Amino acid sequence: MNARVNFFGNPLAAKVLKHINSAGRAVTDSPLPSVTQELVKIRASQINGCGACTDMHTKDAAAAGETSVRLNLVAVWREATVFTEAERAALELTEQGTRITDAAGGVSGGAWAAAAEHYDEDQLVALISLIAVINAYNRINVINQQPAGDYRPGQFG
């Protein structure tokens, strides 16, 4: 499988990715726990069917010390006992924020309240932003049919 266009070699794409990457760096540098950030990126990528992002973020999480048990259970986090209540709240917000059109009114008050119970305002801003950023990356890669499987941890810095 080949990508439809060389998104990483196109000058216009480079300009677009520069801004998305900048937003991503702001979230990375935020007080939102890095473990939570990776779980959010993995779950949104799974929902969106983004093989390239799922490949990248599972490998980056494993390289950072995440266990295979937790990585294997992200897709079924509701039935898994290996996630903290804070992580579960972030995963629920991620699912509702990613599947925003699946429910009238978008993200439920319950999902928001659960997240607000575990994260302060800066962390919530980072969480909302991360959900938006990973969904943007997912959409670029899915539309472009970006192949998955060859990513090396830390490849993009």
Each of the 157 residues of the chain gets a pLDDT tens digit; together they read 799 999 889 999 999 999 999 999 999 999 999 999 999 999 999 999 999 999 999 999 999 999 999 999 999 999 999 999 999 999 999 999 999 988 777 899 999 999 999 999 999 999 999 999 999 999 999 999 999 999 999 888 7
Cα–Cα dist 97/44, whole Å: 9
Say if residues 90 and 131 touch (Cβ distance below 8 Å): no
Looking at residue 21, what DSSP letter applies? H
The answer to whether 119 and 86 have CB atoms below 8 angstroms apart is: yes
Please state the pTM of the whole predicted model: 0.95
Residue range 11-144, CATH number: 1.20.1290.10
- Non-local (6+) Cβ contacts of 153 within 8 A are 59, 60, 62, 63
pLDDT for the residue 1: 77
Please report the pLDDT score of residue 122 as a whole number. Answer: 98
- Please tell me the distance from the alpha carbon of residue 88 to that of residue 73, in angstroms, as a whole number: 12
